[in-house]
Amino acid sequence: MSQTIHILPDHVANQIAAGEVIQRPASVVKELMENAVDAGATSVEVHVIDAGRTSIQVADNGSGMSAEDARLCFVRHATSKLSTSDDLFNLATKGFRGEALASIAAISQVEVTTCQEAAEVGVKLTCHGSKVTGEEPKARAVGTTFHVKNLFYNVPARRNFLKSDAVELRHVVDEFQRVAFAHPELSFSLTHQGNNLFSLKPGTLRQRVVGILGPKHDERLVPVQEDTDVVQVEGFVGKPDSARRTRGEQFLFVNGRFVKHGLLHRAIVRSYEELIAEGSHPLYALYLTVDPARLDVNIHPTKIEVKFDEEQPIQAILKSAVKRGLGAHNVAPTLDFDVETGLHISDLKPGTNVSEPRVQVNPDYNPFRAPTLGQAHGSWSTGSLKPARPSSDGWKELYPIMDSPDPQAEEPSGPSELDLASQDSGLEVLQWQGTHLMVPTAEGLCVVHIRRAHMRVLFERYLAQETSATVSQTLLVPEEITLSQAEVMALVEVDADLKRMGLDLRQVDGETVAVHAVPSDLATHLREAIDGILELYHDGQWEGGEDRHVLWAKQWAKRTAMSGQAHLPLEARRNLVQALWVCDTPSVDPMGRVTQAMWSGSDIQNLFN
């Protein structure tokens, strides 16, 4: 019988492992930076070309390696971090699996130059597709330089899945920031095509947060500090007014490792209850220190997920720490139980005479007396206790008053009035609880959902603007908006698409864009529109390219449509109904939900049978 089971060759096994560990150039940057930190480096330099697909170079001043270690580091499961299985439960380093360098070498051409402190000369090793192809002496200061070239050169299918340089560079920046955030005591720099993107000097935690997110974030930070037997918490959260509708400024670290943990994120967000709007995301950079024996980081190849032995207590402590930090800086109400409650009475000066307080009483006051016309002049009638009966004069004027639009009626909470040409057709549109409209028709009674109808109208209007020649409203004074560097890069990448949608953004610096023109409906919802774009970026939904304008139109419609109870005057109600009925798809909103329902005449008549 023939044998069907066999052992995979090492280079094939390494390529399979690379699919889990190395997903894109940013994964290489992450692994090499973490190795540099584990090697005791105080300075780490990262240089990338073509967003990393052509070249990634990471140089450090760490402990370096011997020639034997340099050859062995590319072997799968070779590691200096573990000796026994017990070490898995007391991890204090970032890397430990021994898969990263083997995976990188399997799918790229790697050169490593390294030198130890006691060595007279360093060594340069070349590895192509898991095979060592050269070794020679090389002069170098103490430390290690990894040069990764032509990533995925021998796995073309994986290379074809890479996105544009702008997208891949954003991922590189994200990974760089996460490692730099975790180690404010170290120096980090990042260049792309020779242009300096980051140059971070050693400093305090606050200096590192400001150095990455930008100096305008300094005044938005609120310190958080908590020390318990279960977990130590330190770092910063943003003031409630800095919360945004889009994610991207949330950084959580456990034992110096960036992690994503949904339950801890929700605990932080719950600390902002009644302080920020629902759906907003607060800024935070929080660092948790936990006993390594009570933590499992070996549940995912990229080590971005962790599991706690005491998850519930950590959630409660984290939520309490954030609330305490917000309260201590007068951002949220707090109680100080160390302060004695009671009245504070100032000391009397010597020789001061104290008189007994007197109470002024009006003996003629009677709360049951009915007011007369003299009440308007501050006097009260001393006549009968019988309440005055309201006059019935003028009752005929009641109905004209009810039919006329209320001059004090609240304007729609969405964009300014729908500008569809309105013909006063006498359409009767009643409003119910500020959420639905009742429209009599020849077939019966049409019930329209206000918010969903408004979303449909705005969505189709934004789609039409994508092909329109004149869609922008130029701002008299350009409005500057502060963002993270990655977000600015994202907006610059899609600048041409944004202009076709009527949004003209221009980069001012690495963390600021100036808005020069906007679609007319977005003039008062500018920040919501930009946050809607960035939310798609963070969710990875816009990388397809050709349908971006559809995604943005949905986001803009969702963010700018009327919400809550929108009490509309009669003319605005008519405009909304008319605008909905001329839409291409009036029956559903952009999310596919029903916008209107019809009660036929027979349905209404059956209610009374």
The 10s digit of each residue's pLDDT in 189-242 is: 999 998 888 999 999 999 999 888 888 788 889 999 999 999 999 999 999 888
**Residue 460 contacts residue 557 (beta carbons within 8 Å):** no
Range scoring the smallest mean pLDDT among 4-13, 36-45, 76-85, 520-529: 76-85
Give the Cα separation of 163 and 544 in Å (integer): 9
Range list of β-strands (E), 72-217: 109-115, 122-128, 131-138, 143-149, 187-192, 195-200
More confident residue, 84 or 497: 497
Percentage of residues of the chain with pLDDT beyond 70: 74
Backbone dihedral angles phi then psi of residue 101, each to the nearest 5 degrees: -65, -35
Q: What mean pLDDT, rounded, does the chain reach?
A: 77
pLDDT of residue 391: 43
Q: What per-residue confidence (pLDDT) applies to 440? A: 82
List where CATH 3.30.565.10 sits in the chain. Answer: 10-200
Q: How confident is the model at residue 373 (pLDDT cuts 50, 70, 90)?
A: very low
Whether residue 280 is predicted with pLDDT greater than 60 in this model: the reply is: yes
CATH number of 205-328: 3.30.230.10
Q: How confident is the model at residue 369 (pLDDT cuts 50, 70, 90)?
A: low
pLDDT at residue number 404: 45
Picking from 509, 506, 510, 558, the residue whose alpha carbon sits closest to that of residue 531 is: 558
pLDDT at 57: 95
Residues of each domain in the chain carrying CATH 3.30.1370.100: 430-596
For range 7-26, the mean pLDDT: 69
The predicted pLDDT at position 145 comes to: 94
Assess contact for 458 and 483: CB atoms under 8 A: no
Residue 512 in this model has a pLDDT that exceeds 80: yes
Residue 116 confidence (pLDDT) above 50:
yes
Compute, in degrees rounded to 10, the torsion defined by CA atoms 23, 26, 32, 36: -140
Question: Residue 435: its pLDDT value, please?
Answer: 83
pLDDT at 377 over 60: no
- C-alpha distances in angstroms, 304 versus 167, 266, 280, 349, 536? 21, 17, 24, 66, 22
Q: What is the mean pLDDT of residues 246-274?
A: 87
Q: Quick one: which of 423, 459, 458, 426 has its CA closest to 440?
A: 426
| Cα within 13 Å of Cα(71), Cβ side | 7
- The CATH fold assigned to 430-596 is Ribosomal Protein S8; Chain: A, domain 1 (3.30.1370)
The pLDDT, as a whole number, for residue 414 is: 38
pLDDT value at position 411? 43
- pLDDT score, position 115: 94
- In whole angstroms, what is the distance from residue 126 CA to residue 110 CA? 6
pLDDT above 50: residue 278: yes
Residue 191 confidence (pLDDT): 93
pLDDT of residue 467: 54
Q: What confidence category does residue 389 fall into, taking pLDDT thresholds of 50, 70 and 90? A: very low
pLDDT of residue 267 exceeding 50: yes
pLDDT band at 458 (very low <50, low <70, confident <90, very high): confident
Instruction: Report d(CA 590, CA 453) in Å as an integer.
Output: 10
DSSP state of 300: S
What stretch(es) of the chain map to CATH 3.30.230.10? 205-328
Neighbours of 254 (CB within 10 A): 22
Q: Are 159 and 51 in contact (CB under 8 A)?
A: no
Better pLDDT: 106 or 100: 106
Tokens of 270: 């719950």
Residue 430 parent element (H or E): strand 430-432
Going through 301-371 in order, the beta strands assigned E by DSSP cover: 307-308
- Give the tens place of pLDDT for each residue, 132-145: 888 999 989 999 99
Inter-CA distances, 599 with 434, 570, 587, Å: 20, 22, 15
Over residues 441-446, the mean pLDDT reads 80
Give the pairing of strands 221-227 and 131-138: unpaired
In sequence order, the β-bridge partners of residue 187 are 43
Q: What is the pLDDT of residue 380?
A: 39
In the CATH hierarchy, which fold is given to the domain comprising 10-200?
Answer: Heat Shock Protein 90 (3.30.565)
161-180 mean pLDDT: 87
Residue 114 has pLDDT above 90, yes or no: yes
Report residue 30 CA to chain centroid gap: 21
Half-sphere exposure of residue 19: CA atoms within 13 angstroms, side-chain side: 11
The mean pLDDT value for 91-114 works out to 76
What sign has the CA pseudo-torsion 215, 217, 222, 224?
negative
Q: What is the CA radius of gyration of the chain?
A: 33
* pLDDT greater than 70 at residue 320: yes
Q: What is the pLDDT of residues 559-580, one digit of tens each?
A: 778 877 777 788 888 888 888 8
Average pLDDT over residues 367-386: 46
Mean pLDDT on 305-329: 88
Q: How far apart are the first and last CA of the chain?
A: 82
In the predicted model, is pLDDT for residue 415 greater than 50? no
Lowest-confidence segment of 117-121, 170-174, 472-476, 478-482 by average pLDDT = 472-476
